[in-house]
Amino acid sequence: MNIVMRNGKARMTIDKMMQLIDGVASYNDSVDLEASPEIEYVKVSELARAIAVLNTSGAPIKIWGFDLDSYFRRTGKQRVHCWMSGFVHSDGYGYDPRIQFGQREAPVLCGRQSCFIVWAVRRELARLDAAYPSLEAPILAWLKQRREAARAAGAAAGDAYHWAVLCYALMFVDDIGAASINDLLFDHRGNGVMLARVGVDGAACQQRRAFLHFDAAVGVIKHFGHADSEGTSWHPGERMDFLGATLDLNREALYLSELKRELYASAIVALVVGEIASKVELRVGAEELNSLCHKLLHAASTIILGRAHTFYILRALQAKTSRRWTQGSRSKSSRRAPLVAGAAPRRSARIVPSCLALSLPAAGRTRSARLLFRRVARARLAWRERLWRLVDYRRHLRLLRRPMDR
């Protein structure tokens, strides 16, 4: 058992890979993920594309979202599985009826629950939009145009959500993000839906759609026993952090959030400081490099030109054996030849247990890669500032106007 602090909250992780008795597989080894339905996880780019599509209506747009509080620990188990999470204390035996951090199937179980929750949220928002239809002529014309485009594209009848809606919502495990057209609300009689501005002056004001959608989505998750996490909700506005990225309607941009920039830069500094063997070589642990590589790939989803700088990291991770090749062993045959058990390694290779080495290509091949490694060797503690200068944030691609993703 391990206790870690994250965002000021204690999180207990159980080592479910531990083999308690010889001959009996551990909990995680006995889990068959192939038997579970496959889940296609959403991307932040899908929400950005949906925002761009909604923006073609010409109506005001608001984005909103929230995290579910203690999602794993509010999710129960089948009673037939509770015995697998038992524990023994000096005063007796007990079991944990909730999902534990460390269970191999936990992301799949919670992901399947997320699919149901977002379906329920979409259904409730569609009901509200039917009860309070838009009366603005540009929005009605836009909805008609989208429906005609769906029929022309041969979209199925049940696929209308991805073509003609006033709100698009998606969910990644415990994070909900959405975008809504923020028009004024009217009932079927054409009367405005009025509210009192509680906590301000008590004056009556007409409600807008995005704020209704936000309150309704929170109500749906509470109906199923969950709650929005305090301090992590993004009320309807022009800017929001979602899945480590910032969506900014005013700038029409999608970029890496400030928190992720700080965390990723710190991870790079911790990895490279004191680990530089020479000006052209960097020796790091395989697991640490793999973790950093996935962080940089996530950053490359918003910093498009940054992905090119992960080429040599990916090539090192794809190596079948953990080895470091000297500058002279550049031939294809020696680079790919596997090591034979019991045989002496080739003279051109050095075995580096649990370690991967990144070497520069031959002179004159990739100037940008040589400059990158030279900066690592020279800057060290200034790496954080230098890394994020590789790509100018003013070059972010504008949100594409395309059909919403599934």
Q: Please give the domain boundaries of the chain with CATH numbers for all domains.
A: 40-76+105-250 (3.30.70), 258-328+347-395 (no CATH)
Tell me what pLDDT residue 1 has: 65
Tell me what pLDDT residue 359 has: 42
Distance in angstroms (rounded) separating the CA atoms of residues 185 and 207: 6
Tell me what pLDDT residue 197 has: 67
Tell me what pLDDT residue 306 has: 83
Distance in angstroms (rounded) separating the CA atoms of residues 295 and 315: 16
The two tokens of residue 65 are 């979202």
Could you tell me if 68 and 181 are in contact, meaning their C-beta atoms sit under 8 angstroms apart?
A: no
The closest of 167, 191, 165, 188 to 178, measured between CA atoms, is: 167
Tell me what pLDDT residue 350 has: 33
Q: Could you tell me the mean pLDDT of each successive run of 10 residues in the chain, 406 residues long?
A: 68 77 82 82 90 92 92 83 80 83 82 92 93 92 90 77 88 93 89 75 83 94 90 91 92 89 84 55 74 88 84 78 40 36 34 38 44 50 44 38 47
| DSSP at 83 | G
Contacts of 158 (CB under 8 A, 6+ apart): none
Backbone dihedral region for residue 82 (phi beyond 0: left; psi -120 to 50: alpha; all else: beta): alpha
Burial of 181 (0-12, 13-18, 19+ CB in 10 A): buried
Could you tell me if 292 and 314 are in contact, meaning their C-beta atoms sit under 8 angstroms apart?
A: no
The closest of 175, 162, 166 to 245, measured between CA atoms, is: 175
